[in-house]
A and B are shown apart, each in its own frame.
Chain A
Amino acid sequence: MTAVTTTTPTRVRPARRGFPFGRAVAWTVMGLIVLITLLPFYWILRTALSTNAGLSADPTNPLPVDLTTSGFERALGLQSAEEAIAQGGAGGGLDFWRYLLNSVLVSTLITGCQIFFSAMAAYAFSRLRWRGRDAVFGLFLAGMMVPAIFTLLPNFVLIKQLHLVDTLLGIALPTMFMTPFAVFFLRQFFMNIPKEVEEAALLDGAGKVKIFFRVVLPMASTPIVTLGVLTYITSWNDYFWPLMVSYSDSSRVLTVALAIFRAQTPATGVDWSGLMAATLIAALPMLVLFACFARRIVSSIGFTGIK
Chain B
Amino acid sequence: MTIASSSPPSRLPAGGATEAHSTPRTRRTEAGGNGGDGRLAAVFIAPALLGFVVFLLWPTLRGVYLSFTRFNLLTPAEWVGLDNYVRMVNDPIFWDSLWVTVEYVVINIGVQTVAALVIAVLLQRLTQSAVLRGIVLTPYLMSNVVAGLVWLWILDTQLGIGNEIISAVGVDRIPFLADETWAIPTIALINVWRHVGYTALLLFAGLQAIPNDMYEAARVDGASEWRMFWRITMPLLRPVLAVVLIMTVIGSFQVFDTVAVTTAGGPANATNVLQYYIYGSAFGRFQFGYASAMSVALLVVLSAITILQYRLTRAGRTDLG
Contacts and interface: CB of A to CB of B under 8 A. Distances in A.
Interface of A: 1, 4-5, 7, 9, 11-13, 16, 19, 22-23, 26-27, 29-30, 33-34, 36-38, 40-41, 43-44, 47, 55-56, 59-60, 117-118, 120-121, 123-131, 133, 136, 139-151, 153-158, 160, 173-178, 180, 183-184, 188, 191-195, 198-199, 202, 208-209, 211-212, 219-223, 226, 233, 236-240, 243-244, 255, 258-259, 262, 270, 272, 275-276, 279, 282-283, 286-287, 290, 294-307
Q: For the complex, would chain B's binding face be called helix, strand, loop or mixed by DSSP majority?
A: helix
Given A153-B295, A192-B21, A305 B7 contact: yes
Interface string B113-156: 00000110010011111111111111111111110011101101
Contact of B3 (A144, A178, A239, A287): A144
Most interface-central of B127, B141, B201, B282 (chain A CB within 10 A) = B141
A139 B36 CA distance: 21
B8 A37 contact: no
B230 interface: no
Contacts of A183: 48
A240 B205 CA distance: 30
A124 B63 contact: no
A259 B146 CA distance: 9
Contacts, number: 381
A305 B31 contact: no
B12 to A, nearest CB: 8
Contacts of A12: 126-127
Interface in B228-281: 240, 243-244, 247, 250, 253-254, 256-257, 260-261, 275, 278-279
B23 interface: yes
Given A38-B138, A221-B18, A295-B134, 13 more contacts: A19-B225, A29-B118, A36-B193, A43-B161, A117-B47, A147-B254, A149-B278, A150-B59, A177-B48, A188-B7, A282-B146, A294-B130, A300-B13
Contact of A306 (B8, B63, B168, B303): B8
Contact of A11 (B37, B129, B204): B129
Contacts of B202: 301-302, 304-305, 307
Contacts of A143: 52, 56-57
A120 B20 contact: no
A153 B66 contact: yes
A264 to B, nearest CB: 13
Given A145-B306, A157-B73, A279-B150, A133 B41 contact: yes
Nearest to B32: A199
B98 interface: no
Interface size class of B (residues with CB under 8 A): 35 or more
B292 A154 contact: yes
Contact of B134 (A4, A220, A244): A4
B10 A188 contact: yes
A188 B41 CA distance: 17
B15 A300 contact: yes
Contact of A195 (B25, B47, B137, B283): B25
Contacts of A129: 30, 35-37, 41
Nearest to B15: A299
Given A37-B135, A286-B141, A298-B137, A128 B9 contact: no
26 contacts: A4-B134, A30-B132, A40-B154, A44-B150, A120-B44, A124-B45, A128-B30, A140-B48, A141-B5, A144-B3, A154-B292, A157-B288, A174-B51, A176-B51, A177-B50, A188-B10, A191-B28, A192-B26, A209-B40, A233-B141, A239-B145, A262-B149, A296-B16, A300-B12, A300-B16, A305-B8
B299 A146 contact: yes
B62 interface: yes
Interface of B: 2-5, 7-10, 12-18, 20-33, 35-38, 40-42, 44-45, 47-52, 54-60, 62-63, 66, 73, 118-119, 122, 125-146, 149-151, 153-154, 156, 158-161, 164-165, 168, 193, 197-198, 201-202, 204-206, 208, 219, 224-225, 240, 243-244, 247, 250, 253-254, 256-257, 260-261, 275, 278-279, 282-283, 288, 291-292, 295-296, 298-299, 302-303, 306
Given A160-B73, A191-B28, A192-B26, A118 B48 contact: yes
Contacts of A304: 202
Most interface-central of A33, A154, A180, A283 (chain B CB within 10 A) = A154
Most interface-central of A5, A7, A121 (chain B CB within 10 A) = A121
A47 B153 contact: yes
B31 A198 contact: yes
A155 B225 contact: no
B67 to A, nearest CB: 10
A209 B145 CA distance: 42
Contacts of A212: 44
A221 B16 CA distance: 10
Contacts of B153: 43, 47, 272, 275-276
Contacts of B243: 305-306
